[in-house]
Amino acid sequence: MKKFSLLPRAEKITVAELYSHKIKSKSSKDRLVTGWEIFAVITIVTALFLQSAILIAMGISAIVLSMQKGDGKLEHNGKVIKHNLWTALPFFLSGLALIFVGIIGLLMEIGISDKLSGKLFKMAAIIFLALIVLAFIIRLLHILAATVALKIRKKKCTVPVMAEFIGYAANSYDISMNREAPPGIDPLYKYYFEGVNYRFAVSENSPMLSEIGSNFEIMIDSEKPDVYYIEEMSHDNYEILCDYCILLVKVILIPAIIILGIIAFNNFTSHF
């Protein structure tokens, strides 16, 4: 049974496996407008103009889309993480919102009273908001737990070893090809301790690397040699926390702007 690990561990490998890297596609880059934000705008426009049945169909499609197994971010041990709950959350919640609105619309179309439909809409809205709040609370707890785990690991990892560059995290970009990997392909490193080789990946954007391909010193736990610590871990966790805060602001700010815009538009049109 595979043990759960909140933080990444190095992958124990044989000499024959030293250059058998896992394939990874290019990682997504920072963009001013992300895919889920575009989808959110489409969702709002669709909800204003299309019929209820189409809304429900689009909601189901969005949920199915969120469940698809696509390439994710590279884990430190060289393996690829598939889409998880957090990365799929925007599409999943957008799909739920479409389905809720579509169902309320259908009930109104078949003659349900305005009072009952209003109650159903409020109930659906409360459930939807509760899911969003729950998701953000769980994610925050995960980040805080990782922060504590990092501090504990830093104290336990006291043995210095040299990490040696061995290639890139994709079969088509080994160092034997004598060329640099494109953006999104992370460099792989290995270290040796008590007769065993261990392998892990480092982000290509790591501030600790003077240049990709250079060797550097890391700290490991002598009792658990696959447990290692590099400063990049704390840096990554800080970036995750910043991304979380930015997303939280977006989730609060974007709906607020939309609601204020609708109120302003209604006030403007009421004068004519």
Largest CA distance in the chain: 83
Q: How far apart are CA 55 and CA 268, in angstroms?
A: 28
**What is the mean pLDDT for each group of 10 consecutive residues in the chain (272 residues)?**
64 73 43 56 60 74 65 41 52 73 72 66 72 79 87 92 79 46 67 89 59 77 91 81 83 72 72 66
Quote the pTM value: 0.58
Structure token digits, residue 110: 């078949």
Q: How far apart are CA 19 and CA 167, in angstroms?
A: 7
> What is the reported pLDDT for 156?
93
Q: Running DSSP on this structure, what letter comes out for residue 122?
A: H
> What is the reported pLDDT for 175?
45
> What is the reported pLDDT for 77?
41
Q: How far apart are CA 73 and CA 204, in angstroms?
A: 12
Q: Does residue 206 contact residue 189 with C-beta atoms inside 8 Å?
A: no
Closest CA to 229 of 11, 75, 10: 10
Closest CA to 95 of 33, 32, 34, 47: 47
b/e 203-238 (16+ beta carbons within 10 angstroms → b): bbebeebeebeeeeebbbbeeebbbbbbebbbebbe
Domain ranges of the chain: 29-154+241-269
Residues in Cβ contact with 169 at an 8 Å cutoff, skipping those fewer than 6 apart: 21, 22, 24, 74, 78, 185, 186, 187, 188, 201
Cα–Cα distances (Å) from 245 to 91, 163, 179, in that order, read 19, 33, 38
> What is the reported pLDDT for 81?
42
